[in-house]
Amino acid sequence: MQGLQYTLLITFVGVFFGFIIGAIFGLMRISNNKLVYGIATVYVEIVRGTPLLAQIFFLYFGLPELLGVNLDKLTASILAIALNAGAYIAEIVRGSVQSVEKGQTEAGRSLGLSSSQTMRYIIWPQALKRMIPPLGNQFIISLKDTSLFSAIAVTDILYQGRQYASGTFVYFEPTSWCVCSTS
């Protein structure tokens, strides 16, 4: 059960912060400011272009060498999921916002709303509805990715299962969890 708790904790907290990061960088990706757009694009392309395991090793082993910042296993795991999911969520946000018809923005502007009010009251609610299915997919992907944290000895559900199996040599025992009828 402890492994399940760690898996769910890393996933929920990581995806929560990943959504915040993704929303910020997703909106930066639709900015007209070239510097803001460039920063967001570099982040998204680097994170999406490198394997999550390499990102985990960089955060857990590389940061202490480069910056002298020591992260414990759980913090490094949550940060890795947040940064990785944030890059993918940034593209979900960008695509959802850009999928809202331009006429919606024009309608908000013609009503006298500022561009930030138009985004907040008209565009964002519509885009948020469109984000729900891909955000669900990203949550599931992040949940599955937690198995990679066993590489830095995070006691997630996979790590706990391996520990149990190596001590008992029981890798699959259906009779312990299955109720079978013999009628």
Q: pLDDT per residue over 123-158, tens digit each?
A: 999 999 999 999 999 999 999 888 888 777 676 666
Residue 27 pLDDT: 95
Give the amino acid at 41. T
List the alpha helices (DSSP H) in the chain.
2-28, 34-49, 52-57, 63-66, 73-99, 102-110, 115-118, 124-145, 157-168
Identify the residue whose tokens are 């006298």. 112
* CA dist., res. 77 & res. 5, Å (int): 14
Mean residue pLDDT of the chain comes to: 87
Q: Stretch 18-33: mean pLDDT, rounded?
A: 96
Q: pTM here?
A: 0.81
